[in-house]
Amino acid sequence: MPTFTKEKIINICTSIIEAAGVSHQNANLIADLLAEANITGHDSHGIIRIPQYLAAIEDNDILTNANVDILRETPLTAIIDGNWGFGQITMNRAVEIGLEKASKSGLAAITVRNANHIGRLGSYVDLIARQRMVGLLFVNAIGTPAYRMAPWGGTEPRLVTDPLAFGIPSPYADPIVIDMTTTVVAEGKVRIKRNRGEKAPDGWLLNSEGKPTNDPNVLYGLPLGSILPLGGTTAGHKGYGLNIAIELLAGILSGAGCIGKDERLSNGALLIIIGIEQFLPIEEFYQESEIFIKHVKSSPVAEGFDEILLPGEIESKVKRERTQEGIFVEDETWDQILEWGLKLGVELD
């Protein structure tokens, strides 16, 4: 498996996305977000997405250099239309608009429609939290090539992995970042297992008959299997409930629509930004947070664990490790990217 630095992944992704007709500035922004996913350990949202994006451009599902428009806005809200461009460009603009509004009014709610895959949610709320604000992001997906999760009590998949993310400022170097799907695992992580020729762990997948399986291929061929909802076989009603809420808020409220209709592939999003100092001084928030964090970490460490980590700390740890050791990319993914490089006339070796 080839191993790359973050900078090398940015260069590779920028070159090949730009060759597909995207401006250098936009290609570099997309590449930076993909590489950030890889360096923090979220390979499911990193360079593995390049073949997917290039195929979408070829099929005119992603329009290169589409404008991001504000359809309607108030001092607190905005409706953003990505006009079928790259989701990262649309979502990045939504964050910029939200931060501007929240910095003036202390609160902002932004919806996004007509945006392609926006990538890793944690990157956006991390950015917001570093501005000493709270970011809440809810995202659905419509027009997906296949359903990924069966409703609680059902046997056939009807839903997808709808994620949510929270970014909260921390008294320490890095924010508290919670980024998770409403299924036990993101589809991209199953794709990683398939591309690496590995089995999926117990508790991830069900086959088309609703029985547990370790074969990641059940998501990519007929008859389709499914991913278990967050909470698994005993408490999956919780993940299922969150999924329904996200469909209604990120889907219907945004104007993007919900899963189940024959629509173009896209993400709908609801972004909420909260200015902490509208409620209490940031220093007081940090002081109380530090007391709480120390209380949490005072618990004895269980067998099999080295330390108690807060949400977001594992990403910081992986980032330090991969900065030194590099980011490895499975051969299947790299071969697909090389094939696209040849097709677009980009030298990648």
Band (pLDDT 50/70/90 cuts) for residue 348 is confident
Q: Using one digit for the tens of pLDDT, what is the confidence trace for 309-319?
A: 999 999 999 99
Q: Is the pLDDT of residue 307 over 90?
A: yes
Report the mean per-residue pLDDT for the chain: 95
Return the H-helix or E-strand segment holding 262: none
Predicted pLDDT of residue 237: 97
Predicted pLDDT of residue 156: 86
Predicted pLDDT of residue 158: 93
CA distance 31 to 39: 12
3 state SS of 290: helix
Residue 86's closest CA among 334, 266, 269? 266
Outline where DSSP puts E strands in the chain.
3-4, 69-73, 77-81, 107-115, 133-142, 163-168, 176-181, 205-206, 212-213, 226-227, 266-275, 327-328
Structural domains of the chain, ranges and CATH numbers in brackets: 1-65+312-349 (1.10.1530.10), 68-184+228-298 (3.30.1370.60)
Contact 50, 34 (CB under 8 A): yes
Predicted pLDDT of residue 261: 81
Residues whose CB is less than 8 angstroms from the CB of residue 271 and which lie 6 or more positions away in sequence, other chains included: 94, 95, 98, 108, 109, 110, 111, 112, 124, 135, 136, 137, 138
Predicted pLDDT of residue 262: 77
DSSP class of residue 38?
H
Measured in whole angstroms, how far is the alpha carbon of residue 30 from the centre of its chain? 13
Q: Is the pLDDT of residue 9 over 90?
A: yes
Residue 93's closest CA among 105, 104, 103, 78? 78
What is the identity of the amino acid at 137? L
DSSP class of residue 65?
T
pTM of the predicted model as reported, rounded to 2 decimal places: 0.94
Predicted pLDDT of residue 35: 98
Cis peptide bond upstream of 311, omega within 30? no
Q: Using one digit for the tens of pLDDT, what is the confidence trace for 168-178?
A: 999 988 999 99
Helices assigned H by DSSP within 169-312: 187-196, 232-246, 282-297
Interval 152-167 mean pLDDT: 93
279 forms beta bridges with none
Predicted pLDDT of residue 210: 87
Which tokens in the block code for residue 112? Answer: 């996004």
Residue 341's closest CA among 47, 44, 5? 47
CB atoms within 10 A of CB 109: 19
Q: Is the pLDDT of residue 61 over 80?
A: yes
Band (pLDDT 50/70/90 cuts) for residue 89 is very high
Q: Using one digit for the tens of pLDDT, what is the confidence trace for 27-53?
A: 999 999 999 999 999 999 999 999 999
- Tell me what percent of the residues of the chain surpass a pLDDT of 70: 100
